[in-house]
Amino acid sequence: MDFSAIRLITFDCYGTLIDWEMGIIKALRGLLPGLGDVNDEKLLEMYGEIEVAIEAGPYLPYRVVLSRAAEQIAHRLDKTITPADAQRFPDCLRQWQPFPDTVAGLQKLADRYKLGIISNVDDDLFAATHKLLQAPFEFIVTAQQVRSYKPSLNNFGEMIKRAGQAGIRADEMLHAAQSLYHDIAPANSIGLKNVWVNRRYGKQGIGATKQSAAEPMLEVHSIGELAEKMVPM
């Protein structure tokens, strides 16, 4: 891929920059004791299936999506969870950590490009994550702001509009994300340059995202690798 025309790189956050699968596993196992017979992959796939179904309905804040997902997982696994514990699940997101390569990779990319976020999250939850990422995001589009969840094109359209107001054309943008379903497929549908950050490279299963046959324009396995390609020494 030719990066010479790129001025803005937009990122999915959770799963791409933040190790959300580890965060999900730790949070659910903490809220639902006695899951020793349920392996991590089953738990992640169950979460991914339930989350997509909830987000496909009428818009709900992401806090509510997470709480309802925890309740439905408990129900499927015949476990008990109190409403208070279900509501603790969203708060766990604030502590989910960046991948080891994320911060340095973002800082390297920020030396040459403007950065943005397109995330299925609430504003206050991302505000906590933003501090952990230690990077300057000039544009931030959340699900709360547009009242829809990726793969809706509303989320991408809002980013394109805001970038355009700053003088950046859509053909000068690159979207980087881990989820083929939530990000790469809609990016392809509108001709937005994209790169698949394949965080599950070498792992079995589909993890916490819905399966998709979307073909990315480029594949890397980390933000560090992307930075090496886009900001050569």
Same domain, 89 and 103: no
Residues 136, 220, single domain; the answer is yes
Tell me the two tokens of residue 163.
């970038």
pLDDT band at 218 (very low <50, low <70, confident <90, very high): very high
Question: What pLDDT, on a 0 to 100 scale, did the predictor assign at position 60?
Answer: 98
Same domain (yes/no): 143, 204: yes
* pLDDT reading at 165 higher than 80: yes
- Name the domain count of the chain: 2
Among 39, 63, 95, which residue terminates a domain? 95
User: With 90 as the cut, is the pLDDT of residue 93 above it?
Assistant: yes
Q: Same domain, yes or no, for 170 and 200?
A: yes
Are 52 and 113 members of one domain?
A: no
In this prediction, residue 34 has a pLDDT band, given cuts at 50, 70 and 90, of: confident
What is the rounded average pLDDT of the residues 200-215?
89
What pLDDT score was predicted for residue 202?
82
Q: Which residues are catalytic?
A: 12
pTM (two decimals): 0.95
Q: Binning pLDDT at 50, 70 and 90, where does residue 197 land?
A: very high
- Class of residue 231 by CB neighbours under 10 A (exposed 0-12, middle 13-18, buried 19+): middle
Q: What is the dihedral of CA 144, 199, 76, 124, to 10 degrees?
A: -20
Q: Is the pLDDT of residue 111 over 90?
A: yes
CATH number reported for the structural domain that contains residue 221 in this entry: 3.40.50.1000
Which pLDDT score is estimated for 206?
86
123, 44: one domain:
no
- What's the token pair of residue 152? 């809706």
Q: Say if residue 44 is in the same domain as residue 86.
A: yes
Question: What pLDDT is stored for residue 188 in this prediction?
Answer: 98
How large a percentage of the chain has pLDDT more than 70?
Answer: 100
pLDDT grade, residue 204 (50/70/90)?
confident
| Closest alpha carbon to 197 in 11, 49, 6 | 11
Residue 2: pLDDT over 80: yes
* pLDDT bucket at 207, cuts 50 / 70 / 90: confident
Cβ 86 vs Cβ 180: under 8 Å: no
Question: Is 194 within the bounds of a domain?
Answer: yes
Whether residue 2 is contained in a domain is answered as no
Please, is 174 exposed, middle or buried when counting C-beta atoms within 10 Å of its C-beta (0-12, 13-18, 19+)?
A: buried
Domain holding 136, by residue range, is: 8-19+97-230
For a pLDDT cut of 90, what percent of the chain falls above it?
A: 90
Q: Within this chain, do residues 221 and 124 fall inside the same structural domain, yes or no? A: yes
Quick one: 106 and 83 in the same domain?
no
Q: Poorest-confidence range of 29-38, 78-87, 149-158, 172-181? A: 29-38
Is 144 a domain residue? yes
d(CA 56, CA 194): 23
Q: Does the pLDDT at position 233 exceed 90?
A: no
